[in-house]
A = this chain, B = another copy of it.
Amino acid sequence: MTSREESAETLRRAGHRVTSAKLLVMEALRHAGDHLSATSVIYQVRRDAPHVSESTVYRTLGALRDSRLISETTFGHGEVAYEWLEKRPHHHLVCSQCGVVYELSDEVVIGFAKQLSDTHGFDADLQHLAVPGICLDCSRGSEVAGK
């Protein structure tokens, strides 16, 4: 099955109609295999189909996010980032000083969610966190500089 056919099938299962705009957005994200801004998705979609409007892309990104096919995340800087969710669940650590973005496995976050469930009966929905802070390199660097 081609990637496009897989996307079409995925759309149907999620209760969407199969349209070329949605397929193009999905293919852009699947092919990138990385975080993309809405602007960048718009650019890629329009390379193949210049008539597609910006609002359709924004609406499609929102719909795919609601169907949990993609993540939508705000890193501290720049635009909102979208990512195809086929890899294992993961999160990110974002250094506020140097800007580096690390990947974080799900385990620690699952533990946090369990705490919230146990202590507050709240079923947290943590799909793709971006945790701000200071990375190891930067905290070492400032120690040295501080001396």
Task: Give the interface of A toward B (CB within 8 A).
Answer: 74, 93, 95-96, 102, 104, 108, 111-112, 115-116, 119-126, 131-136, 139
Contact = CB atoms under 8 A, between A and B. Distances in A.
B102 A120 contact: yes
A36 to B, nearest CB: 20
A96 B133 CA distance: 26
B104 A133 contact: no
Contact of A122 (B74, B121, B136): B136
Contact of A125 (B74, B96, B108, B112): B96
Given A108-B112, A108-B115, A112-B115, A124 B74 contact: no
A116 B131 contact: yes
